[in-house]
A and B are shown apart, each in its own frame.
Chain A
Amino acid sequence: MTKKTDHTFPLGVHHRDDVAAKSGRMLRDLNLDDVKSGAVGPDDTSASAETLILQAQFAREAGYNEVAANLTRAAEMTRMPNDEILAIYEALRPGRSTYYQLLSLSQRIASEFAAEETGAYIREAAEAYRDTGLLKMDGDKTS
C-alpha cells in the first residue's frame, strides 16, 4: 500500500466512504435505489478534479511520474465540457492550427478552466510544431 499523508491506495478499499463525485454527491449515497428512482445524473458518476489529483499523487509516489502528469492534466480537464476537449484535440492535429492559434488556445484554456498544465502542454506543442513544420501552412485556408 502506498501512504500519502492520510490517504492509502486504492481509494475504493480504504476511503470509499470519503470520496465524492464531481457533482459533490458522496459515493456512499449512490445506490441502486437512487438509480431506480432516477435521482442520479452523469456528474454523480464522474471523478472530481480533487480525486484525480489524489490519484496523481499516488502515481508519483509509486514512481510513475509521467502517469502523474497525465492525471494532473486530466484533473484540469474534468472542468471542461466534452466539446471543448474534442476541440483541443482537433486543434492539436497536424496542420490544423497556426502558431498564434495554439498560443491563444493555450491561454484561454489555462484561464477559463484553471488548466495551467493543459495550457502549458498546448503551448509546448505550438513551439514544437513551429520548429518541426506541423503548423497550418500560410496558404492553407481552413481554420
Chain B
Amino acid sequence: MTQTVSKRFEKLRARDINKEVFVSELPELGLIVMGSPTDPKPSLEIRDGRIVEMDGRTEKEFDAIDRFIALHAINLENAERAMAMGSLKIARMLVDISVPQREVMDVFSGLTPAMIAEVMSHLNVVEMMMAMQKMRQRKRPADQAHVTNWKENPCLLAADAAEAGLRGFAEEETTVRVARMAPFSALALLVGSQVGRPGVMTQISCEEALNLRLAMKGLATYAETLSVYGTIPSFLDGDDTPWSKGILASAYASRGVKSRFTSGSGSEALMGYGLGWSMLYLEIRCILMVKGAGSQGVQNGSISCIALPEALPNGVRGVLAENLVAASLGLEVAAGNDAMSSHSQMRKTAKLMLQMLPGTDFVTSGHSVMPRKDNLFGGGNFDAEDMDDWLVIQRDMQVDSGLKPVREGDVLAVRETGARAIQAVFQELGFPEISNEEVAAATTAFSSDDMPDRDSIADLAAADAFLESDKTALDVVRALASSGFEDVAEAVLEMQRQRVLGDYLHTSAVFDENFTVASAVNTPNDYEGPGSGYRVEGKIWQDICALPQALDPEALVSGEASDPNLLLDPVGKAVEGSGQEVVVALGPAFATAMNKTLADLAHADVLRAILDGVESESVSWRVVKVWHGADVADIGLSGARLSGSGIGIGLQSKGTALIHKKGLAPLNNLELLSMAPNLTLDSYRALGRNAACYATGRAPSPVPMKIDNMARLRLIVHTTLLHHREVNQIDETRGVEEMSVTFR
C-alpha cells in the first residue's frame, strides 16, 4: 500500500503546537500528573497526640518528608474530623459558595497528602477555578515582573524596573548571568522600582548565601529561591533537607525579609527520583513542607519544569490543582506562568486563563517587562511584546490581573528618571560611570541591543567591592538624597523602615504606593459568591478600560466634514427620467456631512470614478440625494425607480455601493459591493461601467472584489460610527432631491 499524504495533515504538522513533544503516561518513571496507581491511599492514625500512621506508612516507615509534615503541617485538632469527611464532600465544599474560605482552610489543615490528592481528583478545571477564586489568600490579585537584561546593564535594568513599577507590578525579580553582578543588579532593581512606584517589592534570584547577604544589606525585600522537592533523593541532590530549608525561612524573617518557597510538578521526575508517585502527590508533599516550615507562601505551578507536565495528559489541570492546594492550605501563591510553556500562542493563553480568571496572589511568578532575549530566567512565557494583549484581555473579561494601561510619555518619563537615579547613585558611591548616552539609550530602548557596551571588568570589580564593603541601602538613600532624588531616597528609606515594622512578612503581603500593606491578615479574600469578594470596579476598572489606543467615539460621530472638492447643489425634487440613463443615488451625508469612505477614499474621487465608468459606455447620468433613509438598498432602489433605464446605483457615505433595478425587491439587487473597506477607485469605475451596461441591455461580468476577511474586524467600530453619522443626516421631509454636481 502506498503511503499517501494529506495536504491538511502536512500543514498541521508544521503548526507551532506540533513543535511540542507529547508522551503517554509511564508511572514507573514519574511520567504521570495525577492519580498514579502506586500513589498512597489516604489514611491517618493519631495516638497520644502524635501521628503514628499516615497514608499507609507507619511512623517507622516515614521518610524525612513524611516526618516533617506529620510534625509541622497537620493540625491534629482538625485532622480526625477532616479525614472522616470524605474527599468528595471536601471537593464540593471547595466549590460551594456558601462554605466560607476559612472553613475550607480548617478542613485542609487536617488532611494528609494522599487525601488532598484525592480531593483534587474530583474537580474539573472549572471547579478548580471556582475554588481558586475563593481560596486565594489576598483579596486583590497581583502580578510579578521579571526584570533582567542580557548585557546586565544597570542603567537599563533601572529603567525597566521603573517601567514595571508604573505598569502596576507589585513585585519585581531579577537574576544574573554572571553571579558577581548580583550586587549591582539588586541595587539597580531597588532604585528603579521605587521610581516607577514606591512600595514595589524586589528580589534577586542567586545563590542562597549571596541572596541572604544582599537582603541583609537592604538591597532586596523578599526572596523566593527556597526550593523544596517531594522525594528525599531529590532533596539531597539540592543539598538540603526540610529542616535546613525551614531554618532559612526563619533566617530571612529575622532580617525583615519576606520569603516564599519554590516547588512544582515534574522536578522530581526530571531529577530521576519520582519514585512512581504522581507529580501532584509529590507536589502536595512539597506544599505541606512549605506550610510546615512556616513560610507565608510558595511559587508553584511547575515553574521551570512546566513543559514536562504539559507533555502528559491532564498536565495543565494538574498544575492548576497544585496552585489550588497551596491556596487551600493558606499559602500565598505565585502561580507559575513564568517559564516558556508552549510554542503555541493559543495553548499558552488557554493555560494562563486558569490562573488569570480566578485570580491568584501573583498570576505569574514573573512576567518579563523586556523582550524575551533579555530574560535571564531562560526566556519568559510572557514578555514586553505581550503587554498590550494582557491589558486587552483584562478589559475583555473585566478581570484585574495586576497591570494597568500606561501612556508612552509616562513610560519614557519614569524610565529616564530611573536611569538618571541609578546614574547618580553610581556617581555618588564611586562606581564606574553611567554616561548620559546610556541614560538616553535606556530611556527609549527596546532591548539591550540598544545599549552601549560597558566595561564589564570594571563593573564586576566595583560590584565585588560593594558587596564586601559595609555599604548598605542606607548609603543608597544618602546618595539619592544628595543628588536631587529626594523622593526616591524617601521611598528606598521607607522600604528600610518597613523592615523594622515587619508587616510584610505576613501571608500574601504587598504594598500600595503609600506603603500600606495588603495581606491575607488585613485584606483577606472574602469571596462567597456573586456580589462578594474582590470586584473589578471604580477607579481600577476605569483604569483597565482606558487603553491609550481606545478611540473616542464622540469624536467619530460628532465630527462633520464636507468634501471641498465636490459641490452638490440641490436643484429641486428629483423626478423620473427617460432614456438610457443611470441614476446615481447618494446617502444623506455624502460629501456634505462626511467626506471619505471606510477605504479612506475622498467622496469626490469616488463619485468621479463612478461617473467616469458610466460615461465610458456613453451612457448619461443623473445624481440624486436620498434624504429619507440610509440603507443602501433603499438608496439604490430609490435611484432606480427614478431612472429612465430602470438602473440606479446606490452609494452610502461609508462607501458601500450597489446596482439596483426598478421592480426588484429591495434586498434583491444586480450587484453589491459590500466590503467598503476593500474597494478602490477602480472598483467604483467598474461599477459605473457595469450599471451603464445594464442600462443598455447588456450583461457585464460582475465587478471583481478583493477579499479581506479581517476588514470587518478592523473596521467594525468605524463602520458603526460612520453609519451613525449618515443616519443623523436623514431628513424625511426632503425625500429625494436632484443634485447639480461640480468637481473642483
A interface list, Cβ under 8 A from B: 1-2, 9-13, 16, 19-22, 27, 30, 32, 35-36, 38, 40, 42, 44-48, 51-52, 55, 58-59, 62-71, 73-78, 80, 82, 85-86, 88-89, 92-94, 118, 121-122, 124-125, 128-129, 131-132, 134
Contacts and interface: CB of A to CB of B under 8 A. Distances in A.
A67 B244 contact: no
Interface in B481-524: 481-482, 486, 489-490, 493, 496-503, 505-507, 515-517, 519-522, 524
Contacts of B253: 52, 70-71, 73-74, 77
Contacts of A9: 503, 506, 521-522
Interface residues of B, number: 72
B485 to A, nearest CB: 11
A11 B477 contact: no
B294 A93 contact: no
Nearest to B237: A94
A113 B524 CA distance: 35
Contacts of B236: 94
A10 B254 contact: no
Contacts of B490: 32
Nearest to A30: B497
8 contacts: A13-B516, A19-B500, A64-B521, A67-B506, A69-B294, A74-B253, A94-B235, A132-B232
User: Binding site of B, secondary structure by majority: helix, strand, loop or mixed?
Assistant: helix
Contacts of B515: 12
A124 B295 CA distance: 18
B207 to A, nearest CB: 12
A119 to B, nearest CB: 12
Question: Which of A42, A88, A122 has the most CB atoms of chain B within a 10 A radius of its CB?
Answer: A42
Contacts of B472: 42, 45
A122 to B, nearest CB: 8
Contacts of B241: 92-94, 125, 129, 134
Contacts of A134: 64, 232, 241
Contacts of B294: 66-71, 73
Given A52-B254, A94-B241, A27 B493 contact: no
Contacts of A47: 254, 256, 499-502
Contacts of B520: 62, 64
Nearest to B236: A94
User: Binding site of A, secondary structure by majority: helix, strand, loop or mixed?
Assistant: helix
B218 interface: yes
Interface stretch (B67-75, B315-323, B633-641): B67-75
A45 B498 CA distance: 8
B254 A74 contact: yes
A131 B61 CA distance: 10
Nearest to B293: A70
Contacts of A13: 516-517
B29 to A, nearest CB: 24
A57 B246 CA distance: 20
B478 A36 contact: yes
B730 interface: no
Contacts, number: 210
B63 interface: yes
B506 A58 contact: yes
Contacts of B486: 32
A32 B489 CA distance: 8
B442 interface: no
B227 to A, nearest CB: 13
B517 A93 contact: no
Given A10-B503, A55-B506, A35 B474 contact: yes
Contacts of B516: 10, 12-13
Nearest to B218: A45
B522 A85 contact: no
Contacts of A58: 506, 521
A3 B108 CA distance: 25
Contacts of B524: 62
B57 interface: no
B247 A21 contact: no
A128 B218 CA distance: 35
Given A66-B72, A128-B64, 19 more contacts: A10-B501, A12-B516, A13-B517, A47-B254, A47-B501, A64-B296, A66-B294, A67-B295, A71-B294, A77-B254, A82-B216, A85-B254, A89-B248, A92-B244, A94-B239, A121-B243, A122-B243, A129-B64, A134-B232
A67 B473 CA distance: 27
A92 B293 CA distance: 14
Given A77-B250, A94-B239, A132-B67, A36 B482 contact: yes
B546 interface: no
Interface in B237-289: 239-241, 243-244, 246-256
B254 A2 contact: no
Contacts of A125: 241, 243
Which 6 A-B pairs have CB atoms at the shortest separation, nearest pair first? A70-B294, A74-B253, A77-B254, A125-B243, A92-B244, A10-B503
